[in-house]
Structure 1
C-alpha cells in the first residue's frame, strides 16, 4: 500500500508493535481505533527488531521504522528516527508524541505547523546508579521541552499527572486525563488452573520496575501446597533487559510458581479466567492496563499505592493498595481479596467495565484531535 500524501495524525514513540508494553499497547489500540474511524494515521518508531520492515501497514495504520545503530540500556541510537518523525509531522495536521522519550524535544522542535499532542505515560525509571540518574534527568528535560510546546497534554489520570516529577511543567499546559485503552478479556477458559487452590496472577514485562520479587516473597509465605503463582510476561525481548534470573533465584525450588512467558490472544483470556486475584507489585507504574483488564474479568487487583497505578483501585474499590516493596502487606491483601464472594466480583467487574471499557478512550481522543484540526479538514466517519 502506498502511503497518503498527508496524514491527519503522526504518532511518534520509540517501540511499537509487535513489541509489547503498556505504553506500546495504548498507542497501538488508539492508532488502530482511529484508523478504523477513517483517520489517516502514521506511526513513526524505531526498528527495534531488524527483521521488521521499515514500512508496513498494520490494521490500517501506516508504520514507519527507523533503523537502530546501537542500544543503550532501555534506549537506542537511531539518528534517522527524529528526522523521519519531523518529515512525517510536516505532512500531518497533528503530531502526537508518547512520553517518556529521549528524542521528544528534538521532534517537537521539528514539527513545523503541526499541532502537538503529548501523552505522558510515566516518569522514566531505571535502576539506581550514577549513570542511570543522569539518564533519567536527561529524559525528564527532553519531556519538559516537548510539553512546553504542546497544545494538549494527555495523562492516564490527574492523579498520575500530579504525582509526576515534571508536574510543574505539565500544570502549565492544557491537561486532559484519558485512561489507557483496556480490552475486555472475558470469555476465557481456566486452562492454567491446577486444582482448586488459591491462584494468584501477574502479567507484564519481566523487569525490575514491576517489583515481582516482592510478589514471589509474599507468595512463598503462603504455605498452602495447592496454591499457585502464575507470572506471565516477556523476558526475552524486553528493552533494557529482564531480571528473570533474579526472579528464578527468588522462586528457588518452589514447584508452585509458574513462569508462563509472553501470552497472546486467547491465552490472555484463559490467564484471567484461571486466577482468583491479580497482583501488580510495581515500584514504578502509572496506570496498569493489566490490572484493569483483570477487574473487568471479575478478578480484584492488589497493587502498590503509587500515583496513577492506584487510580483504578480507588475509583472502583475493587482491590487493595499496599506500600511498595512490602511482601507482608502484599500477602495479607492478596489473601483478603482472594476471599471476595462472587456477588462482589460481579459488581466490581461491572463498574470497571463501565469506567474503563468500550470506546470511551477513542471518543476522547477523537474529540481532542478534532479541536486541533484546521477548519475545513474532513475526516471520513
Structure 2
C-alpha cells in the first residue's frame, strides 16, 4: 500500500514496484493498493504479475490528495491477505494499519516527509509524522534503507522501539548503454531524479557553471511534468539561462537510462532531502563515481563502498571540487567501486532480504 505507483516515477514508487514484481516472479500473489493519481489510469490492472488497485481521488492537496476510498480499499484487501506491506510516509497509514485484520504488518519507512519551509507546511509535516508513528507502533517489522537513515529520522524514537531491519532499496543493473547523449570529449556530469525542490539541483547548476571549460556538459534527467507538489523546472531553467552546456533531457526510461549512465563521467546527487538515492547506486554499478550530499541515508552507499565523495548540502563550491576530483578517478578505481556496489546492492540482494523477512513473519509459509 502506498500513495503513488507506476507509471508515476520516484525512488519510493520504484522501490515498491521492483519489490512487488520481484515477489510475484517468485510465486507470491501480490496486490498493490494506491491512489488513482491520474484519472486516465484504470481502477484495476495487472502489471508484470502484480494486481494494481487504484482508489479514486477527490482532490489534490499539495503533494498529496484526499482519497477516503483508499484506506477502505486497502483494508478490504489486507483482510484477504497474509501480509500488509505499507510504504511510508503516507497520510492514510494509521487508518490502514488499524483495518488490517489478521495480516502481519511490515512498514518500510523510506524518508521523512519533506515540504518547503512555512508555517502551514510545518504543521503538515508534524501531522504526517504523527500518522506514521501510529503505523510504526502497530508494525510487526520496520524496514529502512539503512540504520543510519533510521537514526537520522524525525521519528527515530518511535522506530527504535520496533523490530528494525535495514534493507537497501532494489537497484537495477543499468550497464549495456551507449554514450548517445555525449556531446564532445569534455567532462560530462549527470543528474537523474524528479525535478523537484528537495533535489537541490540549483546548487548543482551553480557548481557546474563555476567550471570554466567550454567542452564540459551537464545532463539533468528526470520528470518535470508529473511531479507530486509541482516541479521547480522554471526556476532551474532561469538558473541555467545563457549556459548552452546545460541540457534538460526530461524523463528517461529503460534503454534511455542505460544510455544516460554510459554518457557521463561522474554522477551528482545534490539533494537537500534524500534517504538512499537509488540513482547513485545504479551509477556506481556502471563504474560511474557519485558525488552525494552527506545526509543520513543518502551517505550510506558512498560510506559502505568507499566509492564516490560526500559533500555538505547547499554547498556549490564543495560540490564543484568533488565533481572534478571524481571525474579524474582512474579506471581501476572505477572498476573496484563498481564491484563493491554490485556486491552490496546489486542482483537480487534486496529481494532476497525482503522474502526472507516476510517468510519469517509468516512462519516459513509462502503467501
- TM-score grouping bracket, smaller chain normalisation: over 0.9
- Judged with a 3 Å threshold, the aligned counterparts in structure 2 of structure 1 residues 74 and 378 are, in CA distance, closer, same or farther, namely closer
* TM-score scaled by length of structure 1: 0.96
Per-residue deviation, residues 74-94 of structure 1 (Å, max 9, x unmatched):
000111000000000000011
Q: How does 1:222-237 map to 2 (within 5 A)?
A: 222-237=211-226
SS at match of 2:82: strand
The aligned counterpart of 2:16 is 27
User: Deviation at 1:112?
Assistant: 1.2
User: Deviation at 1:309?
Assistant: 0.2
SS at match of 1:286: coil
- Of the three residues 310, 313, 318, the one matched with 2:299 is 310
User: Deviation at 1:317?
Assistant: 0.9
Please give the alpha-carbon distance, in whole angstroms, between the structure 2 residues aligned to 1:325 and 1:136.
22
Q: How does 1:157-306 map to 2 (within 5 A)?
A: 157-306=146-295
Contact conserved, 1:302 with 1:321, CA < 8 A, in 2? yes
Contact conserved, 2:359 with 2:366, CA < 8 A, in 1? no
Please give the alpha-carbon distance, in whole angstroms, between the structure 1 residues aligned to 2:356 and 2:333.
35
Please give the alpha-carbon distance, in whole angstroms, between the structure 2 residues aligned to 1:346 and 1:63.
39
1:120 aligned onto 2:112: no
Q: How does 1:56-75 map to 2 (within 5 A)?
A: 56-75=45-64
The aligned counterpart of 1:3 is none
User: Deviation at 1:371?
Assistant: 1.2
The aligned counterpart of 1:333 is 322
Per-residue deviation, residues 42-92 of structure 1 (Å, max 9, x unmatched):
000000110100000000001000011110110001110000000000000
Please give the alpha-carbon distance, in whole angstroms, between the structure 2 residues aligned to 1:158 and 1:343.
30
SS at match of 1:92: coil
Contact conserved, 2:28 with 2:366, CA < 8 A, in 1? no
- Of the three residues 346, 354, 362, the one matched with 1:373 is 362
Per-residue deviation, residues 332-373 of structure 1 (Å, max 9, x unmatched):
000000000111111100110011000011111111111111
User: Deviation at 1:378?
Assistant: 4.6
Per-residue deviation, residues 191-245 of structure 1 (Å, max 9, x unmatched):
0001110000000000000000000000000010000000000000100000000
Please give the alpha-carbon distance, in whole angstroms, between the structure 2 residues aligned to 1:78 and 1:55.
16
RMSD: 0.8
Per-residue deviation, residues 137-172 of structure 1 (Å, max 9, x unmatched):
010000000000000000000000000000000000
Contact conserved, 1:93 with 1:374, CA < 8 A, in 2? no
Contact conserved, 1:15 with 1:45, CA < 8 A, in 2? yes
The aligned counterpart of 1:358 is 347
Per-residue deviation, residues 265-317 of structure 1 (Å, max 9, x unmatched):
10000000000000000000000000000000000000000000000000111
SS at match of 2:225: coil
* TM-score scaled by length of structure 2: 0.99
Query: Mind listing any 5+ residue stretches in structure 1 that lack a counterpart?
Result: 1-11
SS at match of 1:284: coil
Please give the alpha-carbon distance, in whole angstroms, between the structure 1 residues aligned to 2:75 and 2:363.
19
Q: How does 1:14-53 map to 2 (within 5 A)?
A: 14-53=3-42
- Aligned pair count reads 367
**Where does structure 1 differ by over 4 angstroms across 4 or more consecutive aligned residues?**
none
Q: How does 1:130-149 map to 2 (within 5 A)?
A: 130-149=119-138
Please give the alpha-carbon distance, in whole angstroms, between the structure 1 residues aligned to 2:316 and 2:366.
54
Please give the alpha-carbon distance, in whole angstroms, between the structure 1 residues aligned to 2:149 and 2:363.
31
